Amino acid sequence: MSSNDTPELDERGRSKVADVDRSLYDFTKSEEGYERYEDGLTPDIVRSISSKKNEPQWMLDMRLKALAEYHRRDMAPNYGPSIEGLDLNNISTYVSPKTKQAKDWDDVPEDIKDTFERLGIPQAERESLAGVGAQYDSEIVYHNMREEVAKYGVVYTTIEDALQDPKWEPVVKQYFGTLIPMTDHKFAALHYAVWSGGSFVYVPKGVRVDYPLQSYFRLNAQGAGQFEHTLIIVEEGADLHFIEGCSAPKYYEANLHAGAVELFVKDGARLRYSTIENWSKNMYNLNTKRARVASDARMEWVSGSFGSHVSYLYPTTILQGDRSSCEFTGITFAGATQDLDTGCKVVLNGKDTTASVETKSISKDGGLNTFRSSIIVGRHADRARATVSCQSLMLDDISRSDTIPAMDVRNATAQVGHEATIGRISDDTVLYLMSRGCSEAEARSMVVNGFANPVSKELPLEYAVEMNNLIKLEMEGAIG
């Protein structure tokens, strides 16, 4: 420890815990030469996005219908964090880097390639992934999958490209927008009007993809929105692990993320969907994710939310088939200026379905965390079982953590359990660790990492390391 460390102590004389180190994400690239559509939303903008993508008529029709829906709808009742700072007339819905989608990183423009290099994406691709998609602002700039995976008929591409392929266009049409309807909420309507980028994944019957596929979403442009759509179909008995990562540099203007993720898990299949989200603190993250799970199939969500100014995020699982199951493991970290409303929703419709939800939240420096869970057991879901556990850790007295569980059980044979705890780092624990030689910061960091451990051990290794770095809490003062 250097001697010029200036102790920063709170009113109780405890040393301050440092903020999450964002320097890794906080760099911006010039937007010069980019195609940027006017702010605000008109049918003309929607038409030009569609024609640029050379879309089939049905997709344009859908966009225009969604736009009308968007204008028709009032803002959703503001039950959670305020989104007053978000003026949609000042958000550019489409910003495209002037580049074609590449299959080789060497064909990606230097500044964009550098961005992804710094985020470690090409390296992860070489070491541990079956395929990578990288989106920069509104468009995918890189997409590639290992040949041996393609050989089994696995498709990993953009929805735009799938729509150009006569074989896949009908499949997209069959599934797109069916799980998350445009009438879901105002931002779903917005999403369908201006969606761009994202991924289309199709895993044929019985195929197990041994390595994960990963999409990384980077929003570089200031005052812009990102509206990617992810559509994944895992056929009967197939197995896939999909990873998404998101980040953006910090601007003073609001940015908006309103993506949609639609996941179809067929009979006996398994899908694991891991997310590490580290948007900058000017981001309004209003994302919608939903999975439909058939008989004997399994859905696993792993979710780490660290960034954004405001988040509304509740991945939903519909356990439609008998004996289907889901597991949701999530962690949310809210620091200064962050108001994160996260959680999950599970609908148990099939018989003998099981759902297990384990979430953690950490709040510091006035950060606000709200955990909402909704468990809905349908009338026919005999012997359905669901457990929800939510643990919150508060690092100071000015932060806030709320838990709002909701349960709607319509079957008498169902078993639903919920437990929630809110705690602090106890002085006894800090003393114990310090008396073994850990500095106060090391002690606190050890406790926080230990708290997050059940989640971080579920993440792919490189993300687990990233998460530990994100939670790295530094010592700024010593107690005399």
Partner 1 sequence: MAQLLTINGLSAGTEDKPILHNIDLSVGTGETHVLMGPNGAGKSTLGHVIMGDSAYQVTSGAIEFDGEDVTQKGADKRSLAGIFLSYQAPVEVPGVPLYSFLRTICQMRPELKTTARKFRQRVAKISEQLEIDDSFLTRELNVGFSGGEKKKIEMLQLLLLRPKLAILDETDSGLDVDALQIVSRGIEAYRADCDGALLMITHNTRILEKLSVDRTHVMVKGNLVAEGPASLIDDIDANGFGRFEGAVEKDEA
* Footprint of partner 1 (CB under 8 A): 13, 426-429, 431-440, 442-443, 446-447, 449-454, 478-480
Q: Which amino acid is at 459?
A: L
The smaller minimum CB distance to partner 1, of residues 109 and 454, is found at 454
- Beta carbons of 101 and 109 less than 8 angstroms apart: no
Q: How far apart are CA 407 and CA 444, in angstroms?
A: 35
Residues in the chain: 480
- Give the largest CA-CA distance in the chain: 72
For the record, the structure tokens of 215 come out as 């999409």
For 56, the token pair is 């089939």
Beta-ladder partners of 476: none
User: What's the Cα-to-Cα distance from 73 to each of 76, 177, 288, 434, rounded to whole Å?
Assistant: 8, 18, 17, 56
CB of 391 to partner 1, least distance (A): 9
How far apart (Å, rounded) are the C-alpha atoms in residues 210 and 200?
18
Cα gap 70→182, rounded to integer Å = 9
For the CB of residue 326, give the shortest distance to partner 1 in the complex, in Å: 24
Choice between 405 and 454, CB closer to partner 1: 454
Q: What is the DSSP string of 3-26?
A: TTPPP-B-TTSPBPBPPP--TTT-
Q: Where are the alpha helices (DSSP H) in 95-205?
A: 110-118, 121-128, 147-150, 159-164, 169-175, 186-194
Nearer to partner 1, 118 or 457 (CB): 457
φ, ψ for residue 448, nearest 5 deg: -65, -45
Min separation Cβ 433 and partner 1, Å: 7
Closest contact distance (angstroms) between CB of 444 and partner 1 is: 11
Q: Six-digit token pair at 42?
A: 């008109």
* Closest separation in Å from C-beta 340 to partner 1: 21
Comparing CB distances to partner 1, the nearer of 167 and 436 is 436
Question: What Rg do the C-alpha atoms of the chain give, in angstroms?
Answer: 22
Provide the sign of the torsion angle of the four alpha carbons 432, 438, 441, 443, taken in this order: negative
State the minimum distance, in angstroms, from the CB of residue 480 to partner 1.
Answer: 4
| Closer residue to partner 1 in complex, CB, 62/433 | 433
Closest distance between partner 1 and the C-beta of residue 425, in Å?
10
Distance CA 206, CA 208 (A): 6
Smallest gap from residue 435 Cβ to partner 1 (A): 5
Pick from 312, 325, 455, 307: nearest CA to 372: 312
Burial class (CB in 10 A: 0-12, 13-18, 19+), 204: middle
Considering the complex, state which of residue 440 and residue 466 has its C-beta at the smaller distance from partner 1.
440
Strand (E) or helix (H) holding 442: helix 440-456
Can you tell me the distance from the alpha carbon of 109 to that of 102, in angstroms, rounded to the nearest whole number?
A: 10
Shortest separation between residue 447's beta carbon and partner 1, angstroms: 6
Cβ distance to partner 1 smaller for residue 160 or 440: 440
Query: Please, which residue, 169 or 358, has the CB nearer to partner 1?
Result: 358
Which lies closer to partner 1 via its Cβ, residue 55 or residue 440?
A: 440
From the CB of 111, what's the least distance to partner 1, in Å? 40
Nearer to partner 1, 61 or 419 (CB): 419
